[in-house]
Chain A
Amino acid sequence: MKVVVAVKRVIDYNVKIRVKTDGTGVETANVKMSMNPFDEIALEEAVRLKEAGIVSEVIAVTLGSQACQDVLRTALSVGADRAVLIETDTELQPLGVAKCLKAFVQKEAPRLVLLGKQAIDDDANQTGQMLAALLGWAQATNAFKLEIAGEHAIVTREIDGGLETLEASLPVIVTADLRLNTPRYATLPNIMKAKKKTIETLSPADLGVDPSPRLKTLLVSDPPVRKAGIVVNSVTELLEKLRNEAKVI
């Protein structure tokens, strides 16, 4: 069985972002970019399923400019068999991405599509669910544990206050949460090998999709700054302040 893993190139999670002074977005020039951490977890899960003999081929796909090839190289270096760039310079939003992925999935016919539960740049948490809707497939978001049993996926999900287990018919969309696994690091020989592999390229037009944005970002701004507080010297002083000044206890 084939698995498609959708990955996104985002500002590295260790980078402290800066809002552009003109309010059009955040500064991305000369900023370290990486694969979205939740997508790394999704990819790791696919590779582990392959190592367990359940999956025959892992296909990593991303959308964006030529620059996105770097996350596909990363994907190849940790175990993806093929990597595909759906190349476009259009501003991408989750619905447009889901439509391109739908067409791509129909072409590749995997039984399982894995994605991260959200990307850490726009924090939208939408693409997996929308892809499932467009394909008419079952969805299991925020996955904590994934098992494939014949024609079903048994997925334990992170929910408010605990865990929930669903049994979904294949094909299914699964989005990865933090505790699904711990992704491996690429080894140097594998990084070198990945450099030599071919990255396939498609365009949204090849897939018959118009991914034009449907939402307009009017302004990106810094969040309101919390006023710095005071340092107290003892537990007694802390209690006094909480009781008499803040009046919260």
Chain B
Amino acid sequence: MPTLVIAEHSNLTLRASTLHAVAAALQLGEPVSVLVAGYGAGSAAQEATQVVGVHQVIHADAPHYAEQLAEEMAVLIQKLAADFTTIIAPATVFGRNLLPRVAALLDIAPITDILAIESNDTFVRPIYAGNALAKVQSLEAKKVLSVRPTSFEAAAAEGGNASVTYLEPMPSVGLSQFKSRDLASSDRPELAGARVVISGGRGLQSGENFQMLEALADKLGAAIGASRAAVDAGFVPNDYQVGQTGKIVAPELYIAVGISGAVQHLAGMKDSKVIVAINKDPDAPIFQVADYGLVADLFQAVPELTAAL
């Protein structure tokens, strides 16, 4: 029985998280359909047909899907669910918001934030901020799952040739309305998908001092993140936060500057390929996970590093 992937998209293009969710779906070995529900989302649907391994794209288009509100999306997916054994969404803010609502409508216990697929009913997910891993078996007839994008290599975006099926929209449930969105505009790569991430912690001492990290990030083409301590102290907005309650990142290079390395922070970055820690406290726990540790005053080391690149 086939697998349904719920696409995260901007109506114009697919988000990278969708490619990771498709990759997870392909591991189950069943035909994969992708639902693109949006408004004027023809180009995102077309893009989905190109993703390697996708068998069919299901496209629903209506004004009430423009912002992909959970209330509207859930009833549409509920209607589709009869044709699928497994429903997968990326474990991003979008997927985390939507997927449990779908599961409850179907009276199915979902499994969220999956790191690995062991079989078609057994999955590994993190608990306690990734300080333990739970292998969980679903006893449900259908599986409703969200998968952590950084744990599944993205499916190839081009080379596929799926068909498009148009799905009649459901009537709007009208429980909530989108008002506005305020996205931090930045020329930098997105934190979740960046090749290099530089994060600052409480050691930066102020929001102004993050400019120092920006200069370094400019040189490396990096995204900027922060620990929860830096967010709590008001240095940077919450969407910078890397950790249990923020973003999960796994870049090729992660540079932690003035971050002590609380378990909540490590939960968000310890799958990075190479970790560098710069901290003046030699006993900071961050050094236990760092490949390269530099015990130094960050106010000297960071400008020196920037200048040397």
Contacts and interface: CB of A to CB of B under 8 A. Distances in A.
The reply to whether chain A is a binding partner of chain B is yes
Interface stretch (A56-64, A105-113, A198-206, A239-247): A239-247
A159 interface: yes
Interface stretch (B23-31, B42-50, B79-87, B176-184): B176-184
B39 interface: no
Given A160-B93, A178-B228, A126 B110 contact: yes
Chain A binding surface SS class: mixed
B184 A223 contact: no
Contact of B101 (A139, A159, A223): A139
A88 interface: no
Given A162-B181, A248-B273, A249-B253, A218 B122 contact: yes
B239 A160 contact: yes
Interface string B275-304: 110000000000111111111100001001
A177 B308 contact: no
Interface residues of B, number: 90
Interface string B129-149: 111111111111000000000
A215 B136 contact: yes
Contact of A141 (B97, B108, B238, B296): B97
B274 A179 contact: no
Contacts of B301: 235
Interface in A206-249: 213-223, 226, 228-236, 238-239, 241-242, 246, 248-249
Contacts of B134: 217, 219-220
Q: Top 3 A-B pairs ranked by shortest CB distance?
A: A130-B104, A133-B104, A229-B291
Given A165-B178, A166-B176, 16 more contacts: A16-B263, A94-B109, A123-B126, A133-B102, A138-B71, A138-B175, A139-B101, A166-B69, A168-B176, A177-B238, A217-B135, A220-B135, A221-B135, A231-B287, A231-B294, A238-B305
Interface of B: 69-71, 74, 92-94, 96-105, 107-113, 122, 126-140, 174-184, 190-192, 196, 220, 228, 231-232, 237-239, 241, 244-245, 247, 252-253, 263-264, 270, 273-276, 287-296, 301, 304-305, 308-309
